[in-house]
Homo-oligomer: A and B are copies of this chain.
């Protein structure tokens, strides 16, 4: 099982456990999250870029990985993704660099494991 599958499996499994806790607030956060990234005045690609950049400045590696996957699914090019990450790095400062390293590493994994 590669990094990609491992990450996704852990996420799915734990998301299920969280929903099984049967806590109304947590359930609503999850459904709100889905609603948020649906097509609207902004298209999905733009929304995922927003999710990616916000995750980078807030320095959440798992969130970055998730949105990198979604960015690829939405058909964004590597150049577009890298530019969004550059913006996040300027706004968030050099403290973002270690997260950028892991993001670039994960982007490489995604490129080697194209969704079928």
Contacts and interface: CB of A to CB of B under 8 A. Distances in A.
Given A58-B57, A84-B42, A90 B93 contact: yes
Nearest to A10: B101
Q: How many copies does the complex hold?
A: 6
Contacts of A69: none
Interface of A: 10-11, 14-15, 17-18, 21, 23-26, 28-29, 32-33, 35-37, 40-42, 46-47, 49-51, 53-55, 57-63, 77-80, 82-98, 100-102, 104-105, 108
Contact of A87 (B51, B84, B87, B97): B51
10 contacts: A17-B105, A21-B104, A25-B32, A25-B87, A28-B32, A36-B86, A36-B90, A60-B98, A61-B98, A62-B101
